[in-house]
């Protein structure tokens, strides 16, 4: 119902031939006074209705064609259904009431909590008092996730919990990973392994177009809101970095922390699916960092209050998760990955705290100041938030990350020649490969990011019994395939020749194979030469 001016009136007790006229007079008096655009009749306390009462509803329906009747008991609903009223207007049955007083909290997300109400069932409650639309959305995305291969529970009932609503799920003996870590910290490695296995399963799923919202779109709006809080143009740089994160149709959960992953018997299940989206994994890691580190960075007690375990356990679990997900325990690599995650997380946190301040103003200001200081510091080291860039593999001695500028050409050639000399390549081969690399690198420096300066990476591999040299140049600039350029006609005279095209032409002549692909927002040019 799109109308903003909606009046809700209650129907109570009995409406029959003895009181129908007085009920009608009372209802119409309130309608004449309020002059609403739309009307909702709440029948939670309506015990009985006769044909005289039905005629009152018909009179009201003529004035309000979009009339909705809610919280209708089963007995009254049966009367409305047999008389065709459920076909003429929206009639919603009452929901059974469930109390969560004294129940164990087994999960918690931004929008609500999950309680165990008996040994077989749990109920997710919602903070929003008018949560029926949220419940419908979550049920739909949970079904989609299950169809696409994510092990999750599907709600089988909707109930009233206090003044709001809840979804009921069957979860036999479910225990959240947060509970496991709190009571059995020695099982951390098991939790990390299963947690990352689930995370990779989710991120590998391609979602049909239009089925889920873009997490990049919602995050970019938050960064745009807070960017003016940063000095010296850093806010605009930050916003552009977020906008440059590659688009993706892969699934992300959006609230993937240890309270939302549960062990039910021997089965690991994901719950709290209302934040399901599509996007690059960095947006998933953003929310994970907030849960394990960011929210409690100023006050470590926050993570204990929320997850139920200490800040030390939380931070250890976070780092182990990164190592398992990215397949390395190299501190330099994990630090480089974490820098990108921390950067976007601080922007999100600053926006969140600005719009949701706590009661302690001094703590609010100190927390934002801490996040802002750390964001400015990490922004000074980064030019990209793309986790896919080969440049984050800084521990690989065969990879050089460098500014894509002509002034850095000699550094690139020095790196290349050190590898070629170590492989005892001839002077002729070194000269030829130098020419090929120079042509491609200078092209990247001049055009990939113009007029700005971005990053490029060069990777040199030597392998095989008949050694093959493979040189790969990577950048995240504008899409460009130099191999698609038409070879120049070298039979023409100088006057007839077109300017340009000789660089890639020479490269293709010098090297045995030159190939290009655009992948994950990167230009990847691979050149091979048998030595």
Domain with residue 457: its CATH number is 3.30.565.10
Distance CA 50, CA 354 (A): 55
Q: What is the DSSP string of 149-166?
A: T--B----EEEEETTEEE
**Residues 156, 221 within the same domain:** no
Question: Do 441 and 302 belong together in one domain?
Answer: no
The H or E element containing residue 233 is: none
Rounded CA-CA distance 507/486 in Å is 13
User: Which CATH number fits the domain that encloses residue 36?
Assistant: 3.30.750.24
Residue 110: per-residue pLDDT: 66
CA atoms within 13 A on the CB side of 173: 4
Phi, psi values for residue 310, rounded to 5°? -70, 165
CATH value at residue 349: 3.90.1200.10
319 CA to centre of own chain: 19
Which whole-number Å values give the CA distances from 191 to 157, 178, 314, 341, in the listed order?
A: 30, 9, 12, 22
CA dist 386 and 422 (Å) reads 32
For 56, half-sphere exposure in the C-beta direction (CA atoms, 13 angstrom radius) is 22
Residue 339: per-residue pLDDT: 93
- 98 within domain boundaries: no
The reported pLDDT for the residue numbered 390 is 42
- Which domain-ending residue is among 93, 119, 148? 93
- Decide: 245 and 216 in contact? Cβ < 8 Å: yes
Final residue in a domain of this structure, among 170, 201, 224: 170
pLDDT score, position 464: 56
Q: Total structural domains in the chain?
A: 4
Mutual angle of helices 311-326 and 331-355, in 10-degree steps: 120
Using DSSP's 3-state secondary structure scheme, residue 266 falls into coil
Same domain, 159 and 192: no
pLDDT at 486: 67
What tokens were used for 211?
């089925």
pLDDT score, position 1: 44
**Domain co-membership, 235 together with 120:** no
Does an H or E element contain 167, and which?
Answer: strand 164-170
Q: What is the pTM of this model?
A: 0.64
Asked if 420 contacts 429 with a C-beta cutoff of 8 angstroms, the reply is yes
Are residues 193 and 338 part of one domain?
yes
Residues 346 and 374 in one domain: yes
Q: Are residues 374 and 436 in the same domain?
A: no
Own/partner contacts of 270-273, CB < 8 Å, gap of 24 or more, are 270/145, 270/150, 270/151, 270/152, 270/198, 270/202, 271/107, 271/114, 271/124, 271/152, 271/153, 271/169, 271/171, 272/107, 272/109, 272/111, 272/112, 272/114, 272/124, 273/138, 273/141, 273/142, 273/145, 273/152
Instruction: Examine the domain organization and report whether 188 and 308 are in the same domain.
Output: yes
Q: How far apart are CA 432 and CA 418, in angstroms?
A: 15
One domain for residues 148 and 263: no
Query: Tens place of pLDDT for every residue, the chain, 531 residues?
Result: 445 688 999 999 999 888 999 999 999 999 999 999 999 999 989 999 999 899 999 999 999 999 999 989 888 988 998 988 988 899 988 888 899 999 988 766 667 788 888 888 888 888 777 777 888 888 888 889 889 899 988 788 888 888 888 888 887 677 899 999 999 999 999 999 999 999 999 998 999 999 999 999 999 999 999 999 999 889 999 999 999 998 889 999 999 999 999 998 888 999 888 899 999 999 999 999 999 999 999 999 999 998 999 999 999 999 999 999 888 887 877 888 999 999 999 999 999 999 988 888 999 999 999 999 999 999 988 888 988 654 444 556 788 888 899 999 999 999 999 999 888 888 889 999 999 999 899 999 999 988 888 889 999 988 655 678 899 999 888 888 888 876 655 454 444 445 445 678 788 888 999 999 987 668 899 999 987
* Per-residue confidence (pLDDT) for residue 392, from 0 to 100: 45
Place of tokens 């004449």: 32
Alpha-helix runs per DSSP H in 356-395: 361-379
Choose one of 148, 170, 192: the last residue of a domain: 170
Which token pair is 186? 């020695």
- Do 365 and 400 share a structural domain? no
Query: Is 218 among the domain residues?
Result: yes
Domain range holding 503? 396-530
What CATH number does the domain containing 118 carry?
A: 3.30.200.20
Nearest partner of 315 among 292, 342, 284, 299, judged by Cα: 292
DSSP letter for 486, please: P
């Amino acid at each position: 119902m799109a109308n903003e001016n909606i009046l809700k009136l209650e129907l109570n007790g009995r409406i029959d031939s003895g009181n129908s006229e007085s009920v009608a007079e009372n209802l119409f008096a309130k309608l004449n006074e309020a002059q609403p655009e739309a009307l909702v009749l709440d029948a939670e306390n309506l015990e009985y209705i006769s044909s005289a009462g039905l005629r009152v509803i018909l009179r009201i329906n003529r004035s309000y064609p979009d009339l909705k009747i809610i919280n209708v008991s089963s007995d009254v609903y049966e009367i409305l259904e047999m008389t065709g009223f459920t076909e003429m207007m929206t009639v919603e049955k009452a929901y059974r009431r469930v109390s969560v007083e004294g129940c164990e909290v087994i999960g918690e997300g931004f929008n609500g909590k999950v309680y165990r109400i008996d040994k077989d069932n749990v109920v997710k409650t919602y903070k929003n008092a008018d949560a029926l639309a949220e419940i419908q959305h979550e049920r739909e995305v949970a079904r989609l996730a299950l169809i696409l291969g994510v092990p999750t529970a599907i709600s089988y009932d909707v109930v009233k919990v206090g003044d709001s609503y809840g979804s009921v799920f069957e979860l036999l003996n479910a225990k959240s990973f947060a509970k496991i870590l709190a009571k059995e910290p020695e099982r951390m490695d098991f939790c990390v392994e299963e947690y990352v296995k689930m995370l990779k399963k989710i991120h590998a799923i391609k979602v049909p177009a239009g089925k889920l919202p873009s997490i990049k779109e919602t995050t970019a709006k938050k960064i745009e809101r807070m960017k003016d809080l940063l000095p010296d143009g850093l806010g605009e740089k930050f916003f552009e970095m977020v906008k440059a994160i590659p688009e993706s149709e892969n699934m992300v959960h959006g609230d993937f922390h240890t309270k939302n992953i549960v062990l039910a018997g021997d089965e690991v299940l994901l719950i709290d699916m209302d934040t399901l989206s599509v996007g690059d994994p960095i947006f998933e890691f953003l929310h994970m960092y907030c849960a394990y580190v960011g929210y409690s960075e100023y006050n470590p007690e926050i993570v204990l209050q929320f997850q139920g375990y200490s800040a030390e356990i939380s931070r250890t679990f976070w780092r182990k998760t990164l190592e398992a997900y990215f397949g390395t325990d190299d501190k330099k690599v994990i630090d480089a990955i974490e820098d990108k995650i921390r950067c976007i997380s601080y922007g999100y946190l600053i926006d969140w705290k600005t719009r949701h301040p706590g009661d302690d103003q001094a703590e609010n200001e100190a927390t934002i100041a801490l996040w802002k200081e750390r964001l400015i510091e990490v922004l000074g080291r980064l030019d990209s938030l793309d986790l896919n860039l080969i440049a984050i593999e800084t521990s690989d001695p065969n990879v050089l990350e460098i500014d894509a500028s002509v002034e850095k050409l000699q550094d690139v050639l020095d790196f290349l020649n050190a590898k070629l000399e170590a492989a005892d390549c001839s002077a002729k081969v070194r000269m030829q490969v130098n020419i090929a690399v120079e042509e491609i690198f200078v092209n990247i420096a001049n055009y990939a990011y113009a007029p700005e300066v971005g990053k490029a990476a060069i990777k040199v591999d030597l392998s095989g019994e008949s050694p093959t040299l493979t040189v790969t140049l990577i950048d995240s600039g504008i899409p460009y395939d130099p191999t698609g350029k038409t070879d120049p006609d070298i039979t023409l005279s100088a006057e007839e020749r077109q300017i340009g095209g000789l660089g890639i032409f020479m490269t293709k002549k010098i090297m045995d194979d030159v190939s290009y692909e655009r992948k994950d927002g990167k230009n990847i040019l691979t050149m091979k030469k048998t030595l």
